[in-house]
Structure 1
Amino acid sequence: MSLTRLTQGPLTLGVELPLDNDWSPSGERARRDDARPFGVPDMDAHAERIAQVDRLGFRAAWLRDVPLYDPAFGDAGQVFELFTYLGYLARHTDHLLLGTAAAVLPLRQPWLVRKAAATVQALSGNRLLLGVASGDRPVEYPLFGEDFAQRGAQFREAVEILKGQTDAQLSSGQALLPHAPQLPLLAAGLAQQSPHWVGREMDGWLAYPGTPQDHIKRVGLWRQVAGDKPYVSFIHLDLLERPDAPTTRHRFGVSAGREGLIRELEAMQAAGVNHIGLHFRRNQRPLDETLEEIGREVLPRFQGQAPVIEPHAKETADVD
């Protein structure tokens, strides 16, 4: 089961897409040269980078759901539509768990979300982690014909559909195909619900980035309402070249050398965090070099030594 794999190890590590450092000084220069708006990453090497992440043994890749690029918000996520891109990534990886962080349920038809998620689950070999959210961009809701103020109620109704609790609406003989086991549901934040509702109805929590001290408080709340269900968060990382470079904090993360990153992750583990997704858009070094260093020097300290998979091994395992 994907949730079990997510938490196999004292602390597991993943990546948050897009795999581009377009928020760094060099990335900003490249963006201007390419005439891309702010927040629109360079996706030219995305297949190569996700294959590298898979080969190195990262546990999961997380995708944002950004239906509408808004210059005022300035973040296009990974550009591609969520579920379509999940299918593409499944084809280009062998072992990597594929997570949504998170599908905005009030802006999506929930029966189709369920079908799309079941499709990804079947074609990926049960590697999907379905993170869901109520959304936080008011400008999107009128475009989709939805009421921003009602997104909490819409979220609850969509979760009922995703969990099969409304299947009595189907007529005799009707079914939503493909059949899939219960989809693993993780809530991003509280999704306009109470902590107790989220702890009871969700299989895991996608907590917003914060310091280890922030997570001690949040994990304590999560354990009260959800027991040992997975607790996941993210770090916006700028991995410096000097392993012993001092650590400085910035919004949502740290700038640190490898030793500082390890200390930060150890503190996250001690706080009770089960999985951390690393976000690299601020990273100043070349991303392929950064990923290799983390895969070689950091992953084994937390996940154990994962097998190195030969690139393009997926090409021999096509589904007809």
Structure 2
Amino acid sequence: MSISKLACAGLSIGVELPLDNDWSADGVRRRDRDDRPFGVPDMSAHLKLIQQADRLGFRAAWVRDVPLYDPAFGDAAQVFEAFTYLGYLAGQTDNILLGTAAVVLPLRQPWLVRKAAATVQALSGDRLLLGVASGDRPSEYPLFGVDYQSRGQLFRDSIAVLKGQQDTQLGEGQAILPAGVTPPLLVAGLAQQSPAWVGEQLDGWLAYPGTPADHERRVGLWREVAGDKPYVSFIHLDLQEDPQAPVRRHRFGLSTGVQGLIEELNQMQAAGVDHIGLHFRRNERPLAETLDEIAAQVLPLFHSQ
């Protein structure tokens, strides 16, 4: 099952899409040249880079679900609709797990989410990790005719559909196809729910980025309510060319050399984190070069365990 591949044998390392460095100094220059709004990435090399990450052995690739680009939030994620994009990537990659971080359930019809997820799971060869969320951008909800304050209840209702707990609504002989294909469900944050409910109902937790000390506290809570279910988080990384460059922290991540990254990941593993997705939008170096260096010097220290 895909979730067992995510969290087997210690810490695993993946990537968060889009694979661009649009928030670097060079990325800003390219964005201005192309007349792209802030947060809308350059997707011209996306396929080449995700195939490189797959070939190099990164464990998972995570896509965000951003239904509406809003310049007030300044992030269009990977531009493409999440399930459509994952279906495309499923046919263009071989081994890398494909995760959503995370589908905004209150803005989607849950029976169609179930069908879309089962489709990607079947076509990818059991590689989907279905991360779900209640959403946190109030401006999206009026467009979709959804009450923002009701998103917690809508989330619970959708989970019931995704887990088959509402199949009594189906008529005789009716089914959501492909049948019997159920991807693991991971939740981003708490989705307006209690920790106990999340730990019981979901298969993993997508935690917001933080320091190893932050994660140690959060992992402790997660273990109390969910046992050994996977705990996942992300690092916004700017990997310096000097391997000994010291760690300098910024919002959601750090700038450091490869030795500092290894130490950070060791601390994450010691804190109980099962998987880290690396986000490269702040990365000043070319991404193909950065992926190669991490694959050569970092992945073998963790993925061979």
Q: Place the TM-score, normalised by the shorter chain, in its bin.
A: over 0.9
Q: Structure 2: how far apart are the matches of 1:121 and 1:77?
A: 22
CA positional deviation for 1:179:
1.1
Q: In structure 1, what is the equivalent of residue 193 of structure 2?
A: 193
Query: Which amino acid in the other structure matches residue 181 of structure 1?
Result: V
Q: Structure 2: how far apart are the matches of 1:183 and 1:170?
A: 20
1:224 aligns to what SS in structure 2? helix
CA positional deviation for 1:8:
1.6
Q: Structure 1: how far apart are the matches of 2:125 and 2:251?
A: 36
Contact 1:133 1:191 in 2 (8 A): yes
Structure 1: gaps of 5 or more residues: 306-320
Contact 2:199 2:226 in 1 (8 A): yes
Q: In structure 2, what is the equivalent of residue 41 of structure 1?
A: 41
Q: In structure 1, what is the equivalent of residue 257 of structure 2?
A: 257
Q: In structure 1, what is the equivalent of residue 178 of structure 2?
A: 178
Q: In structure 1, what is the equivalent of residue 247 of structure 2?
A: 247
Contact 2:107 2:146 in 1 (8 A): yes
Q: In structure 1, what is the equivalent of residue 67 of structure 2?
A: 67
Q: Structure 2: how far apart are the matches of 1:289 and 1:254?
A: 18
Structure 2: gaps of 5 or more residues: none
Deviating beyond 6 angstroms after TM superposition, the runs of 4 or more aligned structure 1 residues are: none
Q: TM-score by structure 2 length?
A: 0.99
CA positional deviation for 1:10:
1.3
Q: In structure 1, what is the equivalent of residue 152 of structure 2?
A: 152
Contact 1:121 1:180 in 2 (8 A): no
Contact 1:196 1:225 in 2 (8 A): yes
Contact 2:118 2:182 in 1 (8 A): no
In the alignment of these two chains, the number of paired residues is: 305
2:102 aligns to what SS in structure 1? strand
CA positional deviation for 1:304:
1.4
Q: In structure 2, what is the equivalent of residue 163 of structure 1?
A: 163
Identity rate, percent: 72
CA positional deviation for 1:9:
2.4
Q: In structure 2, what is the equivalent of residue 280 of structure 1?
A: 280
CA positional deviation for 1:4:
0.3
Q: Structure 2: how far apart are the matches of 1:136 and 1:31?
A: 26
Q: TM-score by structure 1 length?
A: 0.95
Q: In structure 2, what is the equivalent of residue 119 of structure 1?
A: 119
Q: Structure 2: how far apart are the matches of 1:134 and 1:180?
A: 25
Give CA deviations for 1:239-292 in whole Å, capped at 9, x if unaligned: 000000111000000000000000000000000000000000000000000000
Q: Structure 1: how far apart are the matches of 2:109 and 2:74?
A: 26
CA positional deviation for 1:180:
3.1
Contact 1:122 1:180 in 2 (8 A): no
